[in-house]
Amino acid sequence: MNILKFIESFTTENMMNVKGSRRDIFSQVGLVGKNAALTAIPFGIAALTSTKATAAVKDSTSGNPIAALQLALTLEYLEDEFYQLGLDSGVIPAGGREEKVFMQIAAHESDHVTFLQNGLGANSISKPTFDFTVGGVFDPFNNYAQFLALAQAFEDTGVRAYKGQAANLISTPDLLTAALRIHSVEARHASEVRRLRGLKGWITGSERGAGMPVATQAVYNGEEVTSQAGYDTAFLFGAAAGSEAYDEPLTGPEAVAIASLFIV
Amino acid sequence: MKNEVKIHEVSSSSLKGRREFLKLSGMAVAGTGLFLAGCSYDEKTELNGSFNNTAKMGNNGHFPGVKNGIFDLGGNDFGVLTYAYALEQLEADFYTKVVNASGFSSTFNDIEKEVLTDLYHHEVIHREFFKTALTSGLPNPKHQLLPDLSFAYGNLNFNNRDQVLATAKALEDTGVAAYNGAGRLLSNPDYLLLAGKIVSVEARHASAIRSLINPNSADFAGDDVIDMTTGLDVSKNPSEVALIAATFITTPFTAKYLP
């Protein structure tokens, strides 16, 4: 029995009865992990429990909900540790808007880590070791401008990465809904961080925006799309507005390539 | 309406949800001309109290179209997209009125004007996108394409900054919750991705509007919308969203086949 079949059968039997309250969804997501722990591990799930981020991604293009959520957890680990280190370092100006913003964002990322760990249960993955200086290139915990720039890159990456995993969760509606509800939180964060940096809250073309390191361009490549299901979104107001109106997905490998920059 | 309330009791998971429905449905009926029919009794729906089996119907099930003299949004993938089209019509109409209001240039500062003009562009693009996509995708668009809806905003003064921003916040938050709740109803992964491309932009909007209203705060992703334990944003079913949209949409329509 492969993991996908297992989850499908579980979904049919139990998840369809979820009434949709927040608590129910939460407990159902938790149940997936518990049942997977009891039943699926003997059937060769070891590869999916690897601590390496790339392992999570191997199957994330093939409709595997577990791999999709493992990728999500990897990105949440990254964001959670980044903001925690940022708050601990004192790089964020204290007592004003910035501190309120990043305390709120940090709280959400921490919640997302816990939520995904609980949801994945035995399929959860360990936190990678991060290096936010990328071998000494960046200094985000002493340089606030760099901290802000990386925060923007991480949030915009998160939005695109979750979007890219949605289709892999289509057969597990409760997991899909949970992922969508994280996805929109990442987008709220991204908008605020961008606005803190003096940018628009939305992405124009494939512009990374003023002050963003060239190294972050991979986060924005492909955002310039102005054709959606055959409709020319540039037709009415031009390409800038047309591209802003839609966020584009990142594939699992693309998201991992970005995250891997910061994983030792 | 009796029958409709009964139906929602079947799908409602909590007493709180039930009470909210009753309260809101009374408001909707009193306040507008919307025929809010909720979900019809469907034998499959009735059996397990869940809409998952009936709503996610791909190209099967109920298409949008006039039923008993009133346009029904439908219940298959096209129904979900038509539901999104209705919401985008509302948002586009609202921002069109905002940027064309007589006092627009003096009511708002430069940043606010830029944000509201961008939102006007984005929402009109979303509306026209759905109109085009549905027209080409529906088997019989002449009868199945949702007509242009009419809107009313009560006493809203479009030259009042606080009122406009408060309404924008409500619409954007509702849009986010609506798309978050609708994703699971879609069976076609391409449609799911398109909805995903739009919902994150709506969330960026919601954040920006909230930040304009209260910049020195965590309101951009406030505790009123993001669950403080799970960090999850709001998700709403079409029936819940219809009650909110009914405050503004004056064209009668039903959503009998959506949860």
* B88 in any annotated domain: yes
Q: What does the alpha-carbon distance between residue B56 and residue B74 come to, in Å, rounded to a whole number?
A: 11
* B13 in any annotated domain: no
Pairs from B107-111 (Cβ < 8 Å, separation ≥ 24): B107/B159, B107/B160, B107/B161, B107/B164, B108/B161, B108/B164, B111/B212
Tell me the per-residue pLDDT of B21-57, one tens digit each, with 9 for 90 and over: 222 232 332 233 333 333 333 322 222 223 333 456 6
pLDDT > 90 fraction of chain A, expressed in percent and rounded: 75
B221 vs A contacts (CB less than 8 Å): 104-105, 108, 185, 188-189, 192
Q: From residue A255, give the alpha-carbon distance in Å to each of A5, A159, A178.
A: 26, 10, 19
Q: Is the pLDDT of residue A39 over 60?
A: no
* B193 in any annotated domain: yes
Q: What does the alpha-carbon distance between residue A111 and residue A115 come to, in Å, rounded to a whole number?
A: 6
Tell me the per-residue pLDDT of A19-38, one tens digit each, with 9 for 90 and over: 333 333 333 333 333 333 32
* B20 in any annotated domain: no
pLDDT recorded at residue A62: 55
Domain count, chain B: 1
pLDDT recorded at residue A11: 30
Question: How close, in Å, is residue A206 to chain B by CA atoms?
Answer: 15
* B30 in any annotated domain: no
What value, to the nearest 5°, has the Cα angle with vertex A187 and ends A88 and A128? 50
* B259 in any annotated domain: no
B75: domain CATH number is 1.20.1260.10
Residue A180: closest CA among chain B residues belongs to which residue? Answer: B180
In chain A, the domains with their CATH numbers are: 3-202 (1.20.1260.10)
| A249 interfacial to chain B (CB closer than 8 Å) | yes
Residue A2 main-chain phi, psi, to 5 deg: -85, 165
Q: Is the pLDDT of residue A57 over 70?
A: no
* The two structure tokens encoding residue A234: 């540039």
pLDDT recorded at residue B56: 64
| A192 interfacial to chain B (CB closer than 8 Å) | yes
* The two structure tokens encoding residue B253: 């329509």
Range of the domain at B199: 53-254
Beta carbons within 8 Å of A100's beta carbon, 6+ residues apart = B216, B217, B218
- Going residue by residue through chain B, which has 259 residues, state the pLDDT in tens, using 9 for 90 and above: 333 323 232 233 333 333 332 222 323 322 333 333 333 333 222 222 233 334 566 666 899 999 999 999 999 999 999 999 999 999 999 999 999 999 999 999 999 999 999 999 999 999 999 999 999 999 999 999 999 999 999 999 999 999 999 999 999 999 999 999 999 999 999 999 999 999 999 999 999 999 999 999 999 999 999 999 999 999 999 999 999 999 999 999 999 999 9
**ipTM reported for the complex, 2 dp:** 0.81
* B226 in any annotated domain: yes
